[in-house]
Structure 1
Amino acid sequence: MSATASSEDSRVSGVSGVSGVSGVPGAEELAAYASRELGVTLDPASARADDSGWDFRVTHIRAADGTPWILRQPRRPEAADRLAVEGAVLAAVRDRVPVPVPDWRLHTPGLVAYPRLPGEAAGSEDPDTLVYGWSMDPLAHPDRYLEPLARSLVAVHSTPPDRTRELPGGPPAAPEDVRARIADKLARARTELGLPAARTRRWREWLDDDRLWPDRLVLVHGDVHPGHTLVERPPSGPPVLSGLLDWANADIGDPAADFVDMLYAGGTAVLDGLLDAYRAAGGEVRAGLRDHILARGSFLWVHVALRGLDTGRPAWVETAMSRIAS
């Protein structure tokens, strides 16, 4: 599940001739603008919109030579602001991550364009029920999916500090700041949503347990779920991880954040397989990390409920509250 949600009634400007969200341009306008900026002829007749993302509207389009391209437009100003961070993170990890990442050829506040990476999403999230459907079995061949994904996470989490020092947004937060932000969300949810007392008590115990929290923060992708992992299907053999997409939520943070969405999408079997592969690849699996991820996974629904309130999506609030109550 994506870590952030988007407001579809906001408006993003900042690209001459291309507006966002409520003023989504037609294919002709978008293709013409991107073609001029890229120096590549894009065919508007080939454009196909993908509105499944919470933060960005994606257009799949082909160039005259047949090369597929991705055009990403932020749905709201906050998402546009994150593009500067995302671009800096991609530059920091491009030669470290063992699978391809997007190679931005155009980057403005309102539009990013890059050649589409090969493969298809390993799964997708229903925008209403927030349930994932997999396009492949993530457990069938760990060496083809979970293990390269784990190696990618180890590479991201071990990125040297000198590569992240210049990320936009100022100095990284301290570990205690992560807990403080979650505690603030819990306090707000108790007031505005009326959380069950037993759940609230368990989350408070989790927040107060020093053993479960990291003593240092690292670079994190921040939104690792099946929809952001690409797999290629060779003529013979099982699908293989072929790319890691959408680094819009990358930040200096708690490494456990990069396991939460995979837990949600695939359950504890996928989480355990990913943790085993992460450990084997040299990642630090400290005592209590699994319990910490499980707690973060349950708290994810508080975040979804609050985002539902903030973006006027009562269905998200209802879904989240039913999960919290279960």
Structure 2
Amino acid sequence: MEPSALSVPQLVDRAVRNGIAVVPGSAVIDESGWDFRVVHCRDEHGREWILRSPRRTQVVAPAAAEDRLLRLLRNLLPTRIPEWHIHTPEFTAYPRLPGTAAGTEDPRSLRYHWAVDPIGPAAQYLGPLARVLTSLHALPPATAGLRGTTPDQPRERIARQLHKIQTTLGLPPGRRAHWSHWLENDYGWPTTTVPVHGDVHPGHTLISHEPGGAVRLTGLLDWTNARVDDPATDFVDLYHAGGPAVLDTLLTAYRQHGGTIRKGMRDHIVELGDFLWVRIALLGLHTDRPHLVATARTRLHELGTPP
């Protein structure tokens, strides 16, 4: 059985014992994250803090790597990222970055509710985000403290996931054949791998509302899944959250900022977006969260049989 994350009183106690004078009654829990329990609180100087504790042992080591990564990336990206003040295997604390999440995910349906029109005339969101991704993808893996991987490894990982989902839950008719063909065809697959954030969705992007109605990107959160991988990885969740219009706007801005869009990359992102439901189903099975499995199975059947 997986160990449970620290409770709210335990998180606050850890903060106080580490010198953060948490104002009594200011702690507000956030249970939306898949990997961590998060608490928002305020200290006696009015500074807002994020406290978090892992839900699963599998994210403890990646969190330690995230701590190192954030130190290395500081001042290398054109947006703000968290600056951890305290980190142990059970507990992390850092000052809350300014801004609010660009959207939230419904925990049952896994559909996103945007707090901003991401492609509206007042949105200075996808362009700056594309600039961040371009800067990140251009970094040598060693600069980010990440081990290199080969372009074949993302495909090999998906092949393993496809085999596992077929043997555990099965797939709708035609889906396995479609994805098997996708794996066998070189079209759209990466020829190089780069440092990626690995979890770029609206809930991890912070925005501010400026005078006159403008919306501005202010930060990028939660680097636990950062690794060297297919650059397409960093477009999948935005496509999932906002559909083709958001994806096309983001890709256009990415190219304008100097990002490389390989042949077939857009089609590949769409395939990865559909395959996301396989990953969610497997996560639900692995972490004993049947609602994730049920939602993923429903969405897989909604995809239907490919033409």
> Same fold judged by TM-score > 0.5?
yes
Percent of aligned pairs with the same amino acid:
49
Deviation at 1:143, TM superposition (A): 5.9
1:34 aligns with 2:15: yes
Q: How does 1:175-194 map to 2 (within 5 A)?
A: 175-194=151-170
Question: Which of residues 51, 58, 67 is equivalent to 2:38?
Answer: 58
Counterpart amino acid of 2:169?
L
Tell me the residue number matched to 1:25.
Answer: 7
Structure 1 distance, partners of 2:95, 2:225, is: 21
Q: Is the 8 Å Cα contact of residues 306 and 317 (structure 1) preserved in structure 2?
A: yes
> In structure 2, do the counterparts of structure 1 residues 215 and 197 end up closer, same or farther at CA, with 3 Å as the change threshold?
same
Question: Which of residues 87, 91, 106 is equivalent to 1:126?
Answer: 106
Q: Which range moved further: 206-215 or 272-281?
A: 206-215
Structure 2 distance, partners of 1:150, 1:280, is: 9
Question: Which of residues 130, 134, 142 is equivalent to 1:150?
Answer: 130
Structure 2 distance, partners of 1:88, 1:277, is: 29
Deviation at 1:273, TM superposition (A): 0.4
Q: Is the 8 Å Cα contact of residues 44 and 61 (structure 1) preserved in structure 2?
A: no
Specify the SS of the correspondent of 1:197: coil
Structure 1 distance, partners of 2:154, 2:57, is: 23
Specify the SS of the correspondent of 2:198: coil
Deviation at 1:212, TM superposition (A): 1.2
RMSD of aligned C-alpha atoms? 1.5
Tell me the residue number matched to 2:199.
Answer: 223
Counterpart amino acid of 2:213?
G
Q: How does 1:159-238 map to 2 (within 5 A)?
A: 159-164=139-144, 166-167=145-146, 171-238=147-214
Q: Which runs of 5+ in 1 are unaligned?
A: 1-8, 12-19
Deviation at 1:278, TM superposition (A): 0.4
TM-score computed with the length of structure 1 as normaliser: 0.89
The ranges of structure 1 where at least 4 consecutive aligned residues each deviate by more than 3 angstroms after the TM superposition are none
Q: Which runs of 5+ in 2 are unaligned?
A: 303-307
1:92 aligns with 2:66: no
Question: Which of residues 33, 57, 68 is equivalent to 1:77?
Answer: 57
Q: Is the 8 Å Cα contact of residues 49 and 96 (structure 2) preserved in structure 1?
A: yes
TM-score computed with the length of structure 2 as normaliser: 0.94
Structure 1 distance, partners of 2:60, 2:138, is: 27
Structure 2 distance, partners of 1:260, 1:25, is: 32
Tell me the residue number matched to 1:258.
Answer: 234
Deviation at 1:142, TM superposition (A): 7.2
Specify the SS of the correspondent of 1:305: helix
Structure 1 distance, partners of 2:137, 2:122, is: 20
Counterpart amino acid of 2:155?
R
Question: Which of residues 275, 286, 289 is equivalent to 1:310?
Answer: 286
